[in-house]
């Protein structure tokens, strides 16, 4: 069964450092998403990506964040200068229509 | 704005007992509704979805959910719970993204299910 793959499963970084979270969406899917879940809080939408551009972003997704589909398979989330409050589980999702399928997540710990 | 409420933060049931997890949504149009499950260390797995048609939808692992427009609810049920069902359950409503298609999900806070043997 096809699945969304995220790497790494856990990333530890120092405050102010750049991190790149990687995702391989399901191969025939057209829409790509990032969500995050701060410990003890709701899963929150960050950004959606279609046809090589951002189609919608939340107010959380400020200039410190960027997304890219560098080749035909990967979808990345970059945080330029991490803050303590960026510590969270980050989920990638993909869909071909209305149903999103999620990866296992990357736990980002900012020290 | 759309929102999802899951009133029960924690629920404990005995193995073999029936289960109902509550979900209420707020959305102006006909909603697309989902239930996802998250086991420890795992991602969000889709249990079932409702788009239109029959208001009782069947999902994986023996789960079902009923859409009730009059009550703005989409409660998840299972007739007999297994110990492996212990996990966190999330209800979500989809909002269409007008530029470019697709949708974004608004999640509830989740219900943590504990199963007693």
Q: What pLDDT, in 10s, does the model give residues A53-98? A: 999 999 999 999 999 998 878 999 999 999 999 999 999 999 998 8
Confirm if B112 and B10 have CB atoms less than 8 A apart. yes
The pLDDT, as a whole number, for residue A102 is 96
Q: Is A56 in Cβ contact with B36 (below 8 Å)? A: no
Where do the structural domains in chain A lie, given as residue ranges?
5-110
pLDDT at B67: 96
Query: Looking at beta carbons, which residues of chain B come within 8 Å of A91?
Result: 43-44
- Please list the ranges in chain B whose pLDDT falls under 70: none
Helix (H, G, I), strand (E, B), or coil: what is residue B62?
A: helix
Alpha helices in chain A (DSSP H): none
Average pLDDT over chain B, rounded to whole?
Answer: 94
With an 8 Å Cβ cutoff, is B31 touching chain A? no
Residue B100 distance to chain A (closest CA, Å):
6
Sheet bearing A5-7, strands edge to edge: A5-7, A19-24, A75-79, A65-68
Q: How far apart are CA A15 and CA A34, in angstroms?
A: 21
Domains in chain B, please, with CATH?
Answer: 3-116 (2.60.40.10)
Q: Whose CA is closest to A53, among B95, B101, B88, B92?
A: B101
Of A42, A98, A105, the CB nearest to B32: A98
**Residue whose token pair is 């998250």:** B38
The pLDDT, as a whole number, for residue B60 is: 95
Domain at A5-110: CATH code = 2.60.40.10
- A105: left (phi > 0), else alpha (psi -120 to 50), else beta? left
């Amino acid at each position: 069964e096809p699945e969304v793959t995220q790497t790494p499963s856990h990333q530890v970084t120092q405050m102010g450092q750049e991190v790149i979270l990687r995702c391989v969406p399901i191969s025939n899917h057209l829409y790509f998403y990032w969500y995050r879940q701060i410990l003890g809080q709701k899963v929150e939408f960050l950004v959606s990506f279609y046809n090589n551009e951002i189609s919608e972003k939340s107010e959380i997704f400020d200039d410190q964040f960027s997304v890219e589909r560098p080749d035909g398979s990967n979808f990345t989330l970059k945080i330029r200068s991490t803050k303590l409050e960026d510590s969270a589980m980050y989920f990638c999702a993909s869909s071909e229509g209305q149903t999103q399928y999620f990866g296992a997540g990357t736990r980002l710990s900012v020290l | 704005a759309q929102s999802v409420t899951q009133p029960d933060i924690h629920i404990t049931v005995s193995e073999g007992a029936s289960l109902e997890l509550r979900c209420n949504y707020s959305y102006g149009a006909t909603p697309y509704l989902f239930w996802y499950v998250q086991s420890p260390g795992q991602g969000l797995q889709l249990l079932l979805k409702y788009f239109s048609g029959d208001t009782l939808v069947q999902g994986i692992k023996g789960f079902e959910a009923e859409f009730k427009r009059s009550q703005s609810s989409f409660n998840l049920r299972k007739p007999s719970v297994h110990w492996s069902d212990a996990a966190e359950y999330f209800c979500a409503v989809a909002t269409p993204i007008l530029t470019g298609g697709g949708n974004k999900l608004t999640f509830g806070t989740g219900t943590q299910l504990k199963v007693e043997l």
